[in-house]
Structures are given as C-alpha cells and as structure tokens.
Amino acid sequence: MTDGTSSPVRLARHCLGLLLHTLWPVACPVCGRLGQVLCEECLSSLLTRQIPRCLSCGGPAPCIDHPRSAPILPGAVYGGAIREIIHRLKYGRTRALGPILGRGLAGLHPRPFLDILVPVPLHLQSPRGYNQAEAIALGLGRAWRIPVRGLARWSCDVPARTRLSRSERRELRVEDFVVAPDVRGLRVGLVDDVCTTGTTLSRLASACTAEGARVEAAFVVAHVPG
C-alpha cells in the first residue's frame, strides 16, 4: 500500500528509521515501524472517541439514573492491540507509551476547562515503581497545558485491581482514597489507563468531591465492555 509520498522521501524515512533503530532499538508494536515507540498512524487508528460512560455507575452516558454525573471518556474498547500496548506500558517494558497514549487521548477532545489532572494512584503494595496512569496524565497535561498533580493516594493496602473480582471492585469504599485538601475549589479531570466497572474512578471522584473539588470528567485509554 502506498502512503502517497514519493520514493526519495520514503527512502529517506526508511534510512532515518534504521538510524533511529540503531541508536534506540524500538519498533512500533502495531506495524513494526523502526525507531518508533508507537507511530502516529497507529496511535490515531487505535484511539477514537467512544461512547462516554457515567462516572457514577459506569453505564453508558448520558445516564438516566445519574443525569448530572460527569462522564468517563475512553479512547478505545479494551482488546487487541490496545490491550497489548497497555500491558507493555503497565508492566514497564515500554514506559514511553504512557505520554504518547495521553497525547493521543488529548487529540480526541477539545481542551477541557480544568485546573488540574489527577491520576489514579499506584497501589501501595504494587511491585511496579511507577504509575502508568500518571504517565498517561503527563501526556494529556502536556498537550492541553494542564498541570498533573498526584494529590490522591490509597488509604490502605488495597489489593491491585487485577486481583479483585467485579463485585469486590464495586465494594471499594470512598475511604479507600485519601485526597489532599489542595483540590478544594479546583476543576479536576481524573486519569486512568483502563476502566472496567468504573468503580475506582467513581470512588476517587467522590473522594475529590468530599474535599471540595469539582470533578468534570475522567479520561481513560480503554474501557472494558461488561
């Protein structure tokens, strides 16, 4: 398939790709293009505007039961290549994917009127040394020029969500999050990598609201259909 560019340009791109690959041995996990953590074409084909979810119950938004609830805005349905990419990001093999996914998500929406972005915090007992939600938030924040503030933390040693059943996730309590009082009076956007039932985001939103913030939306890379 041709991309419409002339062959000298393609050759130059190919040579540049090889050079980058030598210096920085990576390849786009979707199309295999050398020297790219995730190429622009694959990023824009992976992320598209999805049906918003209700931040109160995780159902489709606008929600009849929670008409005033803020939306969860996913950029993909969890599965296939996006699942693989999130896995690579999450388990640390390719951390640079986080800001790239964040930038891709930012491109799906007009810049929101937010004061800060708050990533879902890393579990206290997580063996991973970095937070993938924060990495995504940094990409969003950079694109939109909105500061990222890690103002939330888990209040106790809650097991990682991947080890909880759907019903256990629904039982997470508001007190599972502690949010710094700095959020008072701010318009907040929450950020996470994956949204399953929406319970984690809903609880974090409640904890932010309890501290006097206004949660306007939650941005997630992918939504897992129930």
Q: Site residues (CB under 5 A) for Zn ion?
A: 28, 30-31, 33, 39, 42, 54, 56-57, 59, 63, 65-66
Angle at 114 between CA 112 and CA 118, to 5 degrees: 115
- Least separation in angstroms between residue 148's CB and Zn ion is 26
In the complex, minimum distance from the CB of residue 137 to Zn ion, in angstroms, rounded to a whole number: 23
Q: Under a CB-based contact definition with an 8 Å cutoff, are residues 27 and 20 in contact?
A: no
Query: Considering the complex, what minimum distance in angstroms separates the CB of residue 215 from Zn ion?
Result: 14
Task: Rank residues 33 and 203 by Cβ distance to Zn ion and give the closer one.
Answer: 33
Q: Which is closer to Zn ion, CB of 42 or CB of 207?
A: 42
Among residues 172, 82, 84, 167, the alpha carbon closest in space to that of 120 is found at 172
User: Distance (Å, rounded) from C-alpha 62 to C-alpha 31?
Assistant: 36
Cβ proximity of 191 and 77 under 8 Å: no
Q: Which of residues 151 and 195 has its CB atom nearest to Zn ion in the complex?
A: 195
CB of 163 vs Zn ion, minimal distance in Å: 26
- Residue 27: CA count within 13 A, CB half-sphere: 9
Q: Which residue in 123, 117, 142, 124 sits closest to 215, CA to CA?
A: 117
Least spacing, CB of residue 6 vs Zn ion, in Å:
21
Q: Select 30 or 89, whichever has its Cβ closest to Zn ion.
A: 30
Report DSSP letters for 36-90, one per residue: -SS-HHHHHHH------EETTTSSBSS-SS-TTPPEEEESSBSSHHHHHHHHHHH
